[in-house]
Chain A
Amino acid sequence: MELLIIFIPLLPALAALCIGLGQISGLLYGVRTQAITFHLACSSIYLTTFLSLLFLWKGVNGQQAGEIHVATWLASGTFTVDVSFYTGGFNILLSSLFSLLFVVIFRFSRNYLHSEPGFHRFFLLLSLFASAMYLLLLSANVLGTFFGWELAGLCSFLLIAFAWHRENASRNAYKVFIVNRVGDAFFILGAILCFSWLGTINWTEINASINLLSPGQASLIAFCFVLAAMVKSAQFPFTWWLNRSMEGPTPSSAVFYGAVMVHAGVFLLILLAPVLEQLPLISALLVLVGLVTFAYSILSTQTQVDVKSSLGLATTAQLGLMFVSCGFGFWQFALVHLCAHSIVRSYLYLTAPSILHNVHGNPVQPATLQHPLLRRLSLASLHNFWLEESMQQGVSQPCLNLAKDFSNIDDNLVDPVMGFPTSIVHSSANFAFREEQKIGARLDTGENIFSSGSGLAGKLTAWTAALSGWFEHHFVLKGVEKNLPEAGRRLGYIANHLEQILLQPRYLLAFILITLMFTF
């Protein structure tokens, strides 16, 4: 019975898989098959809703809520990764609530996206996202939550770029995606620290054993997760990404940035409540971040003229308040606030296009700002306090410069020593050339030129390929066809590719960091 829990994240994933396969095979295409896609996606959500409510009902009836170990995924020495889920508690509560909201939004999307070219893709991503959220909510260990966390971020990226041919949409999708990676990096770091210092990545065990650590270590772990939560829930100074994410279809904005995904950060905080309670410094940080976000959002929203930006900022204001509640340790309040907010915000996003008629003849009377200071504030608010521009100038630009430096080092120092990796220009030309040859079927132009490449690895592969070519030419009969040179060529490509990756500056940087870590 308890094992049924695995179906909650699994069913939407299966639906996504079916839709994906249908798309690849060409079975699900165009308007005629939209009903199939919709029913696949929606019935999986009905089932998960049923299952969630079942577990919730059991919980309400006082049955033992706990966690269930499904399988061991990895075990290496002391390092084990379980596949385990919570079967009760606020995790199930949230998964039930979100299920119900998914029902509303899935059904909403059917008409809303009817006959859009991306209809099937949309439901694929929405199902995948639902699966990711369930995994995030229900997984009892950090890694499972992280998978959900990542996957949800990926779906968000793909849905912001739903109309990928619009430059704005795809550019903003990248911006959002990259900002979210910052949070993910800290999430991973938190997970690594948990494992190396506590020897476990199970949430319950982390919560239980945190007082074994020194306050400094505990704070570092907590800080990592708090930062991840801050990015996901669009807290200051990351608030601006929410504004950038409104390029997707209205229902996806509702589900990601109104109802479900932005609450993941607060969920993570509540999950770590026992840890955070013991760390006054981190709690203070939560209060501070929450308050700043709240103030920032409220001030910014006063000048927003489009309804989605305005709703986004109203959302972050409420999320900020949830952070404050968490900082003060009002966990129950934060949880209730989270639930209530996701319901109401989902409704407000879905009815955003109605605002014209809902407030017709009922406008906001603009305030008269007498004080010059207020007028300055209003200007800053109009520009969202230049938050994005400042981040661009203060964070992105230095990173870009650094990358440029590394690239220079790479070009001037590393490449001459290691040999030049095949450039993209070359490889694409080669690829085109190869295609052409395939079509023209003129593959008899010299037995030894199977691959080209420079640098040590490249040369080595070329030699190997040449050797095998020679081998084939002389020892294997010509009747063996072209399989062997083909394989050799492929090997050459792989080696080139590997070399390219290894020579990229960020990997060099990573190598250096790893070396440093081992040294200390």
Chain B
Amino acid sequence: MNQNHSPLEQIQAAIADITHVLPAQGPILDFVHENTIEGFQHLPFSQALAAYEDMTGIRGYMKEATFRECYHLGRITDADLDQALTKVSTLSPEKQVTDSISHAAIYRVALVQPLAPLSKAQLQWQMNREFALSHWQQGLPKDISDSPSGTPDDVLPALWKHILQTLNINSDEADQENNTLDTKELEATAIACVDKLASEIGGKYSLGGLIKVLGGGDILDSVAPTLLRLSASLLDEGIAAWHIGDNHYTSLYQAWRDSAHLDLSLKLDDLDWQKEISALPEDAESAVIHQLESMQLPREKWNGYLQRLCLEIQGWTGLINWRQNHPDYHSVNPLQPQLADWLAIRLTLDKLYLQKSCRRLWQCDATFPSLTRALRRNLIECLVRYHWQVTDLPETLCQQIAFLTQQENRQEHDWQALGQAITALQTQDAKEQYTAENQGWRLFVLCQHLGIGPSDLPFLDMNTLVAMLNVLDTFDLPARSQVWLLAYEFHYRDNVFQGMLANYRRGQWVPREERPQAQIIMCMDEREESFRRHLEELNPDIETLGAAGFFGVPMKYKGLDDTHLTPLCPVVVTPAHRVEEVARSSADSSLDVHRKGFAFLYRYAFHLHQGFRLNPVLNLAGTFVLAVFSLPAQLLHSLLPGAYKAIVDKLRANFLTPVDTTLTVTTESPELETSIENPRLGFTDEEQTQKVGTLLRTLGLTVQFAPLVALSGHGSTSQNNPHEAAHDCGACGGRQGGPNARAFAAMANRAEVRKLLADEGIAIPDDTWFVGLQHDTCSDALTWYDTDLIPESLMPEFQTFKEDMEKAQASSAHERCRRFYSANDPATAQKAFQHVTLRSRDLSQVRPEYGHATNASAVIGRRNMTQGLFLDRRSFLISYDPTQDPEGNILENILLTAGPVGAGINLEYYFSTIDNDRFGCGTKIPHNVVGLFGVMEGTGSDLRTGLPEQMIEIHEPMRLLVIVEHKTSVLARIYGDQPALQELIGGGWLLLAVKDPDSEDIHVFEPESGFVLWQESGKTLEEFNQSMDCYAGIHSPIAPALIKQPQTMGA
């Protein structure tokens, strides 16, 4: 660190810097999908993954075994692998080792076959029990194992012998010589080990982490419970009645500092705490400096050390950090969470417990110099302990070490013996350049896969073998993972491109020559792909379009029963307008009834879910009353969910009588200035015109308006699901998008707005009516808004349209059910609809829907590119007409908003899938809601961020493929102008492809070489009469297929 900075500045900078490594997830009710490792997004994808792994030890690729499984399932093919090998710059597949052996061939074997070194015992097992010398290796291609060149008995022993001889490997028992190091060598090894450990303090380890990795116990076991209680109490949003600190303090640290002397656990744990606490400075940042200085940590290590402390409990610190960065967040707790507070407490507690551990282990102080000196004093012991914790030692050795660590008076020579034993294991391989278990065995397997027969052996000289080994060694796990991921993506990509090619000019409405019967604008969400497809199949006269689900109307919204305003727009936007749902003036009496009913339910919910826990008298009295109703209700819910739903719906309707409401979209005081801090209620005519016009132009919907234009926002309703918000509309900041659709329709129906729009060149016919609705992606229910306002003359059209929508709703439910195990392949669409309806009301259902799982691509262009193509609910569909935007200005905006949103969703699913336990939040089964802001496992774990296993289990983790319909030159211009897109696309976080609007050409963007023309493979696509035939009886992912279109059907 720059020594010119004061310690305080350094600490502040360090804390600001920590943001990059902590999870960026906010409170769970505002779940927004974001790149899990967003802090590394400035690096290219593969480098970012490597850097992240370096820091946390978490790998950013799927396990190789899972990739191999995909390979065997046909989700990755040989052709995909070959293609991918050419794309990784560090590899050279075109080179040859000999005339007959190419690098590519070796790579292929290394990918498909595990070629790991064996241990001595494993080799013995292979030879004696698996009969490796008389049986071919498993997984050998048929043409090799069946080849006439020789039986395994002829080939294998000769091959094995040849390899061992050529590499000068002595396979006799004679090499069982004593490998132990002498005392000097052992000491040198130990010094190297200890120096490495000491240098990693403040990077890989905190002092506590170091003690842990040396098997001295984990001080977090003692520190974490206190920290966790404090953090939870600090962040609580309405579960507990008493909080730490309350109104007397401005920071958690001060509240804690003033009460720490009362904390009995410090006393119970026999710590020297009173002096320590009384020496603490007033404010948190000084306390952090005080503690870092008192542990005599060099200044250049401070940043890394603080970062490491946070990473050790990254869920909790992540949320505290989020709250610190969002000071406007509404919470009942007056304390403002600050990372510095947390760090100060953590450092102090750490110090107290560390002191105890260090005393016990090596009679040293818990300071950096003292501890490193102690490590150097106990060299061999440290070496042994380190390997005990980190390496896989034989069980007997582990037990001896464990025994020794328990002894009161340990002798140096005891450690010596163990150190000898461990290093003997370690150095066995190192002494020989080549060993049978490692190089010998790997070459043996490789040669079999390459189909090397007895006649080839003379050509396999030392140089060839070494060259082969070098190829193998350079093709390490990161390189292999890159190839696998690319191949996985290519497989999907080529299928989609092939589909688009086959579908060229099959879709409708290009150009829009006549008015469609109706038009519906849905969210770009890939879950709506099936809905749109089914609707088009049912009635080809309906045109469907896709746009970001807030429909260009960012607003702070307050529904009739809501208690406060919520922003409905993408998280990057801050709305400057308020919109409220209010009763229409004529509906006053019903409003009163509604209000009363709502207030009753509100109080009831409070007493049941809060009072029952906190108020003993209520609990006692309520228990008796409630039990009478609760037992029948529980039984009914469990045994007859349909009847239960009917009863609950009826009761609810009785309490919450419907009220005729309207949205206050038009302001009554247009002269008022509006701002983010002080949003005005409603929009002016000009603002409305601008919002409506922008969306219509973005969609390319400027001519031939249908009589009915519907806008469908979406949300998701499920039971018992803390992650419900993750299923809602991402474009509405993780909330339900119905109000936006309703507001847009209200604006677009106003005569004033239409007049102003006509001046701008968008003429909406007088007989066109906009109607808003909300689609529930879990139950597939449709909620229509303001249908009573539809002009009488359009009612027949509306009724037909509504019927089509209801059919599409059932068909879409049917398609979704193929993925639900408990749906049990419903025979008819109606049954499927019933299933999803009850599914969304099922308390026990942990997979109410699959959300964005399986998302893989985004298509920005006219619908005719994809209409008639079965895309398996995997594609975001964004309507955009390149012919109306030759310069690409609209496209630029779409890319700038849809790009980060799509990447956020896709990458969150990607990371949560590849390592669900570390990037995701694991299975939902033991989750426990804490403070209304998150979930943890049981009652004392780290806060779990990311997606639960139940949401990602059918996901195929690959990067989002964005396909844009336009000229490459326009895309190149946009890419050059926009650093944000350069980061995402150039860094490989998104994959970009460009479809030419006027020809069949598809170009793929490669960061190094620019746009490259994609070569088709000539694969033909299957054609089906309807979507239902595409997926009948299939539960796994389905490649794009063609669906017969009206033209081709001769309609």
Taking Cβ atoms with an 8 Å cutoff, the residues of A that contact B are: 31, 97, 100-101, 103-104, 107-116, 162-163, 166, 168-169, 172, 243-244, 246-251, 294, 298, 301-311, 313-314, 317-318, 321, 336-337, 339-341, 343-344, 346-348, 350-369, 375-376, 378-383, 386, 389-390, 392-393, 424-425, 428-429, 432, 439-440
Contact = CB atoms under 8 A, between A and B. Distances in A.
Contacts of A352: 928-929
Given A353-B722, A359-B606, A104 B634 contact: yes
Given A112-B844, A115-B821, A303-B233, A168 B239 contact: no
A366 B242 contact: yes
What are the 8 A-B residue pairs with the smallest beta carbon separation, nearest first? A363-B238, A340-B627, A247-B938, A305-B232, A306-B930, A361-B563, A386-B264, A108-B844
Nearest to A298: B616
A367 B615 CA distance: 13
Interface stretch (B10-18, B769-777, B919-927): B919-927
A364 B941 contact: no
A104 B637 CA distance: 9
Contacts of A356: 28-29, 722, 724, 929, 932
A366 B242 CA distance: 6
B464 interface: no
A311 B941 CA distance: 18
Contacts of B243: 303, 366, 378
Interface string B684-710: 000000000000000000000000000
Given A347-B633, A358-B609, 13 more contacts: A250-B926, A305-B233, A305-B930, A310-B239, A311-B613, A321-B616, A359-B932, A361-B563, A368-B246, A380-B262, A380-B264, A428-B395, A439-B128
A390 B28 CA distance: 35
A519 B195 CA distance: 63
B889 interface: no
Nearest to A306: B930
B582 interface: no
B116 interface: no
Given A104-B638, A169-B926, A340 B623 contact: yes
29 contacts: A31-B821, A108-B844, A109-B844, A112-B846, A168-B941, A243-B939, A304-B240, A306-B936, A306-B939, A310-B240, A343-B626, A343-B630, A353-B924, A354-B720, A354-B721, A355-B609, A361-B564, A363-B237, A364-B610, A365-B238, A365-B332, A366-B246, A366-B333, A376-B262, A379-B262, A383-B226, A383-B263, A386-B264, A425-B403
B953 interface: yes
A163 B924 CA distance: 12
B939 A321 contact: no
Contacts of B396: 425, 428-429
A190 B926 CA distance: 36
Given A317-B619, A439-B129, A353 B939 contact: no
Contacts of B264: 380, 383, 386, 389-390
B478 interface: no
Residue of A306, A310, A350, A428 ringed by the most chain B CB atoms within 10 A: A306
B843 A381 contact: no
A351 B939 contact: no
Most chain B CB inside 10 Å of its own CB: which residue of A168, A310, A313, A363: A363
B337 to A, nearest CB: 13
Most chain B CB atoms below 10 A, which of A112, A116, A298:
A112
B240 A317 contact: no
Contacts of B930: 305-307
Nearest to A106: B638
Contacts of B237: 363
Interface in B395-433: 395-396, 399-400, 403
B626 A344 contact: yes
A383 to B, nearest CB: 6
Contacts of A309: 928, 939
Contacts of B830: none
B937 interface: yes
B610 A100 contact: no
B982 interface: no
Contacts of A350: 634, 720, 843-844
A433 to B, nearest CB: 10
Contact of A353 (B332, B638, B721, B936): B721
B320 to A, nearest CB: 14
Contacts of B1007: none
Given A114-B822, A359-B610, A425-B399, A346 B244 contact: no
A339 B264 CA distance: 38
A105 to B, nearest CB: 9
Interface string B165-206: 000000000000000000000000000000000000000000
Contact of B925 (A249, A379, A424): A249
B141 interface: no
* Dominant secondary structure at the A interface: helix
A304 B247 contact: no
Contacts of B637: 104
Contacts of A339: 627
For chain B, give the interface size range: 35 or more
Contacts of A353: 720-722, 924, 927, 929
A111 B844 contact: yes
Interface of B: 28-29, 128-129, 226, 229-230, 232-233, 235-244, 246-248, 259, 262-265, 268-269, 332-333, 395-396, 399-400, 403, 562-564, 602, 605-606, 608-610, 612-614, 616, 619-620, 622-624, 626-627, 630-631, 633-635, 637-639, 719-722, 724, 821-822, 842-847, 923-932, 936-941, 953
A317 B616 contact: yes
Contact of B931 (A100, A306, A340, A429): A306
A492 B635 CA distance: 58
Contact of A343 (B233, B627, B724, B927): B627
Contacts of B129: 439
A381 B242 contact: yes
A368 B247 contact: yes
Find the residue from B246, B259, B720 having the highest chain A CB count within 10 A.
B720
B247 A364 contact: no
Nearest to A32: B821
A359 to B, nearest CB: 5
Nearest to A321: B620
Contacts of A354: 719-721, 843
B940 A347 contact: no
B772 to A, nearest CB: 24
Contact of A250 (B247, B562, B925, B953): B925
Contacts of B931: 305-306
Contacts of A337: 620, 623-624
Given A307-B239, A367-B242, A115 B953 contact: yes
Contact of B265 (A104, A109, A336, A386): A386
A305 B240 contact: yes
A302 B242 contact: yes
Contacts of B238: 359, 362-365
Nearest to B631: A343
A61 to B, nearest CB: 21
A101 B721 CA distance: 22
A108 B638 contact: yes
Contacts of A357: 724
A250 B626 CA distance: 22
A347 B630 contact: yes
Contacts of B399: 424-425, 428
A297 to B, nearest CB: 8
Nearest to A242: B939
Contacts of A318: 619-620, 623
A424 to B, nearest CB: 7
Contacts of A382: 229-230, 233, 242, 244
Contacts of B638: 103-104, 107-108
Nearest to A426: B396
B614 A364 contact: yes
A28 B609 CA distance: 39
